[in-house]
Amino acid sequence: MTRSSVFAQSVWERRRSFIGWFAGLIFLVVVSVAPYASFRGNRALERLVENLPGIVRALTGGETDLLSPEGWLNGRLFALMLPLLFSTFAIGRGADGVAGEEANGTLELVLSAPLRRTRFVLEKFASVGAGLMLVALVTWLALAVTTTAAGMKVPLVNVATAMMAMYLLGMFHGALALGVGAATGYRGTAIAVATIVAVAGYVLDSLAELWGVAERLRWLSPFTYADAIPPLTGEPFLGDFSVLAASITAALCVGVWMFDRRDLRS
Q: Which residues contribute to the site for other proteins (CB under 8 A)?
A: 1, 3-6, 9, 13, 104-106, 108-116, 263-264, 266
Q: How far apart are CA 220 and CA 197, in angstroms?
A: 10
CB of 100 to other proteins, least distance (A): 11
Crossing angle of helices 15-33 and 117-149, in 10° steps, is 30
CB of 35: closest distance to other proteins in angstroms? 40
Nearest-approach distance from CB 109 to other proteins, in angstroms = 7
Q: Name the packing angle between helices 15-33 and 81-95 (round to 10°).
A: 170
Please, what is the Cα angle at 232 between 230 and 234, to 5 degrees? 65
What's the angle, vertex CA 57, arms to CA 52 and CA 63, rounded to 5? 110
Instruction: Give me the least distance between CB of 161 and other proteins, in Å please.
Output: 37
CB of 110 to other proteins, least distance (A): 7
Nearer to other proteins, 116 or 216 (CB): 116
Considering beta carbons, is residue 51 or 266 the nearer one to other proteins?
Answer: 266
Pick 118 or 189: Cβ nearer other proteins: 118
Q: Which is nearer to other proteins, 35 or 105 (CB)?
A: 105
Q: Taking the mean position of all CA atoms in its chain, how far away is CA 125?
A: 14
Cβ(204)–Cβ(217) below 8 Å: yes
Task: Yes or no: say if 137 and 214 are a contact pair by the CB < 8 Å rule.
Answer: no
For other proteins, the closer CB: 216 or 265: 265
